[in-house]
Amino acid sequence: MPSIWILGGDGYLGWPTAMHFSNRGYQVTVIDNYFRRSSCKSLDLGMLYSVPNLVDRAKIWYEKTGYEIKVVITDLSDPIEFRKLFDGEMKSHWFLSDPCINTPETIIHYAEQPSAPYSVLDHKHADTTLINNLRVTHNLVWLVKEFSPDIHIIKLGTMGEYGTPNIDIEEGWLNISHNGRSDKFLYPRQANSIYHTSKIMDTDLMWYAVRIWGLKVTDLMQGPVYGIETDETILDNRLRTIFNYDEIFGTVLNRFIVQAVCNHPLTIYGSGNQARGYINIRDTLQCVHASELNPAKTSELRIFNQITEVFKVNQLVNMVKKVGKSRGYKVSIENIKNPRNESEEHYYNPSYQGLKDIGVSPNILTEDVLHKFFEIVEEHKKDIRKDVIFKGIKW
């Protein structure tokens, strides 16, 4: 079966992706340096429940399924350490019989600092974001070029790269006519944080590697993700992914559900008319798998907008309020002064057809989905810390 590396395999999306591919017979290796865990500890952030370390997760997964996930703990921003993965020096920290790491057909790149608020906390955290994100991506394209240029790289981008332009958002590319001539360019980017700026630079690095070295890359411009449960996590609660509800690592709908359960006001930044594209965590797995099954061609940077629905924040709040009240919660809403430098009234019309064309069937956000989400959060209600939900980080 095909071999896959998942960079950032301990994270909110990385670990579910590892199980998803392993459950389908792929040879999976996860690589991580525990950045998310260490950041949660140092910043005193809100994790809904504790999760085992990667080695213990892999052991539990093997006990439940009989499938092996190899584990490597290393810092991929270090080019010497990253190189060891390709030249055979790096061994798995947990294995059944063979500690060697096979060269993969596909590398899925999640190994980045994923939070906009984190990136603007101060100079130190902004610097960490840029150094980590750009060095990992830079190391990745150079090493693929040197060792195995036929590897398909699937990189997680973000819809935040586009900003909120007053024109339709195409899937990564824009046809331009100027002075009687035409060409196709990367769609204009306009980031609102250091994190999103680093992701724009990622895309530019990938585009360089595709044009100059002939690599093949799929760049997935993902919107905010919500949810906990996947087909694999239901096998054992210890396999659930890392879940944050704070303002740094917790995505907006995840925060709202936790706020409703612990009787904290649903905090709306400003007017609540900000529109974004959202996606269920199950669909993230669908999209990445469909991209792997239908790889980009040599010398192609293929870009998909990885969202399934567009909502305004007020729409999400009203859905959570309705379901929360039906479950007996006294859900309140609080509009607070927006700590973010962003447009609250804006046009937003992104295209997101490409992934559907290669087989993705979206999971739509319904009241039933929200009820199930509430049930899981309610299991950990007594452990929710209200004091970490909102601290007013400005950016």
In order, the DSSP letters of 37-65 are HHHHHHHT--BSS----HHHHHHHHHHHH
**pTM of the full predicted structure?**
0.96
CB 113 within 8 A of CB 180: no
**Helix, strand, or coil (residue 183):** strand
The answer, yes or no, to whether residue 394 has pLDDT greater than 80, is no
Euclidean distance between the first and the last CA atom of the chain, given in angstroms as a whole number: 45
Structure confidence at residue 388 (pLDDT):
92
Q: What is the pLDDT of residues 137-177, one digit of tens each?
A: 999 999 999 999 999 999 999 999 999 999 999 999 999 99
pLDDT mean across residues, the chain: 96
Note the helical H segments in 244-363. Answer: 252-261, 281-293, 313-326, 354-357
Q: How far apart are CA 57 and CA 50, in angstroms?
A: 12
Bridge partners, residue 109, by sequence? 7, 155
Torsion of CA 65, 68, 72, 73, to 10 degrees: 20
**With DSSP H G I counted as helix, E B as strand and the rest as coil, what are the percentages for the chain, rounded to 5?**
40, 20, 40
CB atoms within 10 A of CB 214: 14
Return the higher-pLDDT residue of 7 and 340.
Answer: 7
DSSP string, 178-241: ETTEEEEEEPP---SSHHHHHHHHHHHHHHHHHHHH--EEEEEEE--EE----TTGGG-GGGPP
Structure confidence at residue 217 (pLDDT):
98
Q: What is the pLDDT of residues 104-116, one digit of tens each?
A: 999 999 999 999 9
Structure confidence at residue 365 (pLDDT):
98
Q: What is the pLDDT of residues 80-99, one digit of tens each?
A: 999 999 999 999 998 888 99
**Over residues 231-257, mean pLDDT:** 96
- Counted residue by residue, the chain has a size of 395
Task: Spell out the domains of the chain, with CATH numbers in brackets.
Answer: 3-243+280-308+347-362 (3.40.50.720)
Q: Which residues participate in catalysis according to the annotation?
A: 158, 195, 199
Q: How far apart are CA 242 and CA 264, in angstroms?
A: 21
Whose tokens are 């309020």? That residue is 321
Q: How far apart are CA 238 and CA 3, in angstroms?
A: 25
Structure-token pair, residue 245: 């509800």
The answer, yes or no, to whether residue 197 has pLDDT greater than 90, is yes
Q: How far apart are CA 178 and CA 185, in angstroms?
A: 12
Q: How far apart are CA 361 and CA 288, in angstroms?
A: 13
